Structure 1
Amino acid sequence: MMCLQFWRAVPTERRLAWGPVLFLAGLLMVSMTGKSNAENLAPVKIVAFGTSLTARGGWQPRLQTRLAACLQRPVSVENVAKSGETSTWALTQLDRVIAEQPDIVLIELYANDATLHRFVSLAQSRKNMGVILDRLHQRLPRARIILMAMNPFSGLRGLIRPFVDSYISAHQAEAQKRGLEFVDYRPGWERLSSDELAAAIPDGAHPRPESASKVIVPELVGHIAGRDCKD
């Protein structure tokens, strides 16, 4: 109880900075309980919770492989994701996420909220995200909860999401208010030329799996395990 009270008293920016260090320390403590072979350790369980950017993402196998190599222990990545769905749908899926008892939850739920035809207002999207984060944190108090900003949209897919950056910012604000983590992959995509970006995201919304893996996985592995561990 004293440790929990101390952690709650730590400023948000320090919690975010210490996240990877404490996560690795926890894994080390588990590994010192008598199991000397990494293959005998329980896997680090990750649930990727989101939309088609997760369901069709294709970056999960690469994340699983590279993070396992970095941590020197098994890693499993499961999806709770559905194309075309919103944060309103996500509220009905929390029991599925919790049932996995993950060590890490990766969340991206803004992309379809931001479409003009799905009628999820910015205020409602932010409220939904707050409820999602609170419930996950209450039911999975030891899990790392990481919100993500994914790839840019273009063409028609971009036109129907004129305020997508505002939705990302609203979700980020809800995470930061609770001392939770946020990873932004957009700078990685911005380093590509226009031709490279068009080839990587041909439909204007869904990156090719190999392209998504190249941009997302190094950033995410570094965030989870520390910057010394790169893809």
Structure 2
Amino acid sequence: MKHIKFVGKVYLVGAGPGDPGLMTLKGKVLLEQAEVVIYDALVSPTILGMINPLAEKINAGKRRGRHSLEQIETTQLLIEKAKTHAVVVRLKGGDPFVFGRGGEELQDLMQAGVSVEVVPGVTSGIAAPAYAGIPVTHRDYSSSVTFVTGHEAAGKYRPEINWEAIAHGSETIVIYMGVHNLHNVIEELIAAGRDLETPVALIQWGTRPEQKELIGTLNNIVEKIEATGFEAPAIAVIGNVVNFRTNTNPVIME
């Protein structure tokens, strides 16, 4: 087998949920030093503005129904760029290892012989509720939280999420990428015995200036989505912690 020489290193960097103030210092320094940055769709324009102006910038963003690059193309591009550039940054929204396919990219890069380092980011499942005044755990409201994706990849390692186990096993449920499939998720949770009046908060564009929230219950949140035209990208928080916002009347970014 021909030995491939790589001159560079790939950094899997979490850009956080959107607010540039939540970008880690290490991530910012790498953007300033980068020769190539391959970035996702949900990375905010302000964070993209931190990138070295001389760097090559490539949009590999994936949004529902619209892919700039397929996953295999993105990984191959990272491998190719590492052959000729010293600092290659794969910039991913939130945290690379929380529903960000960072683990898949890390595995493929390591198998190809590329040196890789992971730089964690603030995940939207914690930050977006926090900016809406909702703690995902609180001694008076919830002592457990589950993070789960609202849609699943075809041909994945298991056929479906065990919503019954989640409904009974966690007081707070945070759903990523779940708006389009929320009606099915809610049906599963109700069928598993979750109370119809369980509070639900949807948080759109969490931590950004355009952040919006929609509050309801398992019984009426789908109707509210249809009535308001509420759209992705959004995080769903299900559980009594949502009541913390109402009961404390926090100062919310609007």
Q: Which TM-score tier does this pair reach, normalised by the shorter chain?
A: 0.3 to 0.5
Q: Which has the larger radius of gyration?
A: 2
Instruction: Compute the TM-score of the two structures, normalised by the length of structure 2.
Output: 0.30
More helix by share: 1
Instruction: Compute the TM-score of the two structures, normalised by the length of structure 1.
Output: 0.32
